């Protein structure tokens, strides 16, 4: 994730009005979701014939639903 990606997420979260706990929590959840997806994409890229990597990717993505 680049600095520009983070800045874009910050603007999507609160625009110019930062400072409340709600804004920080929302931003943290966006960062976590983006990081989970990046990890799952790496698993997808290294998928084996047995499908182990796809199962790992699915488990990483599912963590966001708990």
Residues 14-31: tens digit of each pLDDT: 665 667 777 778 888 888
- In the chain, which stretches have pLDDT less than 50? none
CA 23, CA 28: separation in Å to the nearest integer? Answer: 9
Residue 18's pLDDT is: 65
Q: What is the pTM of this model?
A: 0.61
Does residue 43 contact residue 57 with C-beta atoms inside 8 Å? Answer: yes
CA 65, CA 33: separation in Å to the nearest integer? Answer: 10
Helix locations, 1-66, DSSP H: 3-14, 21-45, 52-62
Neighbours of 60 (CB within 10 A): 19
Report residue 50 as tokens.
Answer: 């047995």
């Amino acid at each position: 994730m680049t600095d520009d990606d983070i800045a874009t997420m910050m603007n999507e979260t609160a625009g110019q009005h930062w400072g409340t706990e709600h804004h920080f929590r929302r931003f943290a959840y966006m960062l976590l979701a983006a990081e989970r997806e990046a990890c799952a994409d790496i698993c997808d890229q290294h998928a084996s014939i047995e499908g182990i990597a796809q199962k790992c990717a699915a488990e990483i993505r599912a963590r966001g639903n708990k």
